[in-house]
């Protein structure tokens, strides 16, 4: 069992809200490991999800509202979470998508002039339980060694429940338009798109037509296409992949982000695979293989593209400097390119924001 024995009563009361999280709980991993902590007294159910970790020091609001975390149990490696409260203008979607949150110290006494409420109050409103007083770095080391796996979170006194995680496809139901007076019109294929992708495109005076993941836009009038981020296995997006394949038979610019690179790769006949524990954080270094420069990126993904499976006419654009996995691809003669990281950041560094300008210049 992974426990946290170093806490004294002063630390618990000041940081982890003993009054807020009085009940013992267990996170049970698929390999038989148990993680002990405290959960809020209002939570009496059971949560099942893929247990993943994020190494970011800030940006917990943007991270938790990222649809790519749908149905996952998110472990924050940084030991203090909640210290600056919750900014209502930092959401990347209308709700928290993670099933549960695992932290070491949950800060009750938050402080920031732009915040509207505390972290624990926000999660309670979102009906998302938080397991605190956990040595998240030890848990992270375990996940790095053994790989990402399913976990079950429930009160320690509860009877075990047999649950299976289900990753939904997240998208809008009907097309939605932004900035109708923009100079160029782009299609944003919504597979769980972050709001900052929309904001980044509108800020460059583009009309944006946001469409459902299975919407066939290929016969409409547009200047370019953006393929969004999203949760789950890219092979589950068969309608999206088929439409992208049709789109790539033409010459209009296509720009993929995160899940977008995986869908683009499948559309051209390449293969994807699941990483051992994924890349989730704001400090992932990548090398630009075209100009040999280095960028620091914001990432959230569990799958990657197999470089050896890229067909003729396609090359690797970026690689991850930690594990050499593919972080970007491009076509050698047509205006198609994708990246595995998040150039819109939010949260994270803005080193690769220029890629939106690159896309705009190709329209």
Q: What is the pLDDT of residues 315-326, one digit of tens each?
A: 999 999 999 999
- Looking at residue 45, its pLDDT comes to 87
According to the model, what pLDDT value does residue 173 have?
A: 96
Peptide bond into 347 cis (omega under 30): yes
Residues with a known catalytic role? 258, 342, 344
Q: Where are the beta strands (DSSP E) in the chain?
A: 23-29, 34-39, 47-54, 72-76, 80-81, 100-102, 105-106, 130-131, 149-155, 176-178, 184-190, 206-212, 224-227, 254-257, 272-288, 293-305, 314-320, 326-331, 336-339
Indicate the burial class of 219 (C-beta count within 10 angstroms; 0-12, 13-18, 19 or more).
Answer: exposed
pLDDT score, position 84:
94
In angstroms, the CA 241 to CA 97 distance is 24
Give the per-residue pLDDT at 161. Answer: 65
Alpha helices for the chain (secondary structure H): 9-11, 60-64, 119-125, 136-146, 195-202, 238-247, 259-267, 354-361
**Domain ranges (residues) in the chain:** 9-155, 176-361
**What CATH number belongs to 9-155?**
3.50.30.20
The domain over range 176-361 is classified in CATH as 3.40.50.880: yes
| Domains 9-155 and 176-361 agree in fold | no
Per-residue pLDDT, 44: 86
Please identify every stretch of the chain with a pLDDT value under 50, giving residue numbers as ranges: 5-19
Give the pTM: 0.92
| pLDDT for the residue 11 | 39
| 157 Cβ contact list (under 8 Å, min separation 6) | 24
Per-residue pLDDT at 164: 75
Residue 215, both tokens: 């919407």
């Amino acid at each position: 069992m992974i426990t946290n024995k170093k806490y004294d009563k002063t630390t618990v009361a000041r940081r982890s809200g003993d009054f807020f999280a009085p009940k013992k709980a267990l996170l049970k991993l698929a390999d038989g490991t148990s993680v002990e902590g405290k959960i809020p007294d209002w939570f009496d159910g059971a949560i099942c999800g893929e247990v993943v970790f994020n190494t970011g020091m800030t940006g917990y609001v943007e991270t938790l509202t990222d649809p790519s975390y749908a149905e996952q149990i998110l472990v924050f490696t940084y030991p203090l979470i909640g210290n600056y409260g919750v900014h209502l203008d930092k959401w990347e979607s209308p709700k928290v998508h993670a099933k549960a949150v695992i932290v070491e110290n949950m800060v009750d006494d938050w402080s920031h002039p732009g915040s509207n409420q505390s972290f624990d109050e926000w999660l309670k409103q979102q009906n998302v339980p938080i397991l605190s007083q956990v040595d998240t770095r030890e848990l992270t080391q375990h996940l790095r060694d053994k790989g990402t796996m399913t976990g079950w979170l429930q009160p320690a006194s509860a009877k075990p429940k047999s649950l299976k995680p289900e990753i939904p496809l997240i998208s809008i139901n009907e097309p939605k338009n932004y900035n109708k007076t923009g100079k160029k019109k782009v299609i944003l294929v919504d597979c769980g798109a972050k709001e900052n992708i929309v904001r980044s495109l509108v800020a460059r005076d583009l009309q944006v037509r946001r469409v459902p993941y299975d919407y066939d836009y290929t016969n409409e009038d547009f200047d370019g296409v953006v393929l969004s981020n999203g949760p789950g296995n890219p092979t589950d997006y068969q309608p999206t992949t088929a439409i992208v394949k049709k789109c790539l038979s033409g010459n209009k610019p296509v720009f993929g982000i995160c899940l977008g690179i995986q869908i683009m790769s499948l559309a051209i006949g390449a293969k994807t695979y699941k990483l051992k524990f994924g890349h989730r954080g704001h400090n992932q270094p990548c090398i630009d293989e075209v100009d040999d420069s280095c960028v620091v990126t914001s990432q959230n993904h569990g799958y990657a593209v197999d470089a050896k499976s890229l067909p003729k006419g396609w090359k690797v654009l970026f690689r991850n400097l930690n594990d050499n996995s593919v972080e970007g691809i491009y076509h050698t003669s047509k205006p198609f390119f994708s990246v595995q990281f998040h150039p819109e950041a939010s949260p994270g560094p803005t080193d690769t924001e220029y890629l939106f300008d690159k896309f705009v210049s190709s329209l």
